[in-house]
């Protein structure tokens, strides 16, 4: 796997809070591009949270941990299944309704709220039932001093209605909050982060031996039939590269609980 020395976004928020608006804008923009990339390939991540957003040594984002992801959700297709980390789960998942890629955008809204305020947007109660009720029924409270444009972005992403949320996401790159963003540079990984990370730790020979002896490093290469899943990603092991492109198939102070996966996931072609 690619080595990412910048740690995860939760650690970044804890270290650098409060995060300035330019950094929030840059991180949100890269997250948007990452989600659009996945969704264009029919992948719903289902566990977007600050712990699963990693940074490389320059401060660029990488979405990680696809253990709860579901694939081949294109067009009007939807899936079901109670999966994710509770505090970041969209209302439609909690209500056990069919859903599509728009659930990831709700989770992204929670992440951006955490970056902008240093708090969790809904109930701080430790009782899961109360957290679920808050996610389904409550609107987030915004600090008076919060930048109005980032507030508007968060409100659009945390919309309880999947249809309204999707409508907002369809035009999110045109939102005034992102006026200063050059999307071509962001998508090409050429934009410079408006912050500097400390240099990565030096990897000693003993530490390298431990890494190489780890069981994951000794596993056999991925089967050829699965290699096309990695087409177009920014990093791929030489053993995963293929020639053909993949074809479309017919908060800092709040540590989230363990991801949930209550029931098996099924796919349907419902509208």
Minimal CA–CA distance to 36: which of 173, 229, 235, 190?
Answer: 173
- b/e string for 4-30 if b means 16 or more Cβ within 10 A? bebebbbebbeeeeebebebbbbbbbb
Q: Is 64 left (phi over 0), alpha (psi -120 to 50) or beta?
A: beta
Minimal CA–CA distance to 128: which of 84, 162, 160?
Answer: 84
238 classed as catalytic: no
Identify the active-site residue in 8, 47, 51, 56.
47
**HSE toward the beta carbon, residue 18, CA cutoff 13 A:** 9
Characterize the bridge pairing of strands 83-84 and 266-268. unpaired
Minimal CA–CA distance to 28: which of 120, 86, 107, 90?
Answer: 107
Quickly tell me which residue has 């608006």 as its tokens. 21
Instruction: Give the whole-angstrom CA distance, residue 105 versus residue 40.
Output: 14
In 95-248 the beta strands, taken as DSSP E runs, fall at none
Catalytic center residues? 47
């Amino acid at each position: 796997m690619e080595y990412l020395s910048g740690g995860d976004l939760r650690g970044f928020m804890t270290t650098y809070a409060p995060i300035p608006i330019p950094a929030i804008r840059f991180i949100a923009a890269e997250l948007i591009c990452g989600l659009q990339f996945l969704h264009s390939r029919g992948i719903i991540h289902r566990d977007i949270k600050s712990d699963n957003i990693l940074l490389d040594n320059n401060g660029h984002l990488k979405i990680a941990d696809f253990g709860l992801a579901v694939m081949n959700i294109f067009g009007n297709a939807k899936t079901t299944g109670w999966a994710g980390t509770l505090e970041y789960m969209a209302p439609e998942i909690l209500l056990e309704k069919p859903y599509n890629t728009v659930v990831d955008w709700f989770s992204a809204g929670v992440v951006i709220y955490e970056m902008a305020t240093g708090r969790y947007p809904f109930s701080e109660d430790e009782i899961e039932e109360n957290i679920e009720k808050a996610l389904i029924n409550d609107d987030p409270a915004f600090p008076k001093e919060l930048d109005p444009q980032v507030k508007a972005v968060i409100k659009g992403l945390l919309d309880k209605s999947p249809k309204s949320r999707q409508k907002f996401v369809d035009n999110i790159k045109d939102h005034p909050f992102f006026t200063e963003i050059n999307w071509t540079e962001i998508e090409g990984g050429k934009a410079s982060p408006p912050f500097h990370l400390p240099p990565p730790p030096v990897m000693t020979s003993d530490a390298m031996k431990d890494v190489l002896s780890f069981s994951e490093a000794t596993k056999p290469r991925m089967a050829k039939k699965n290699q096309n899943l990695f087409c177009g990603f920014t990093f791929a092991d030489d053993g995963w590269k293929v020639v053909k492109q993949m074809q479309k198939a017919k908060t800092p102070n709040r540590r989230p609980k363990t991801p949930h996966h209550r029931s098996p996931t099924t796919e349907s072609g419902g509208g």
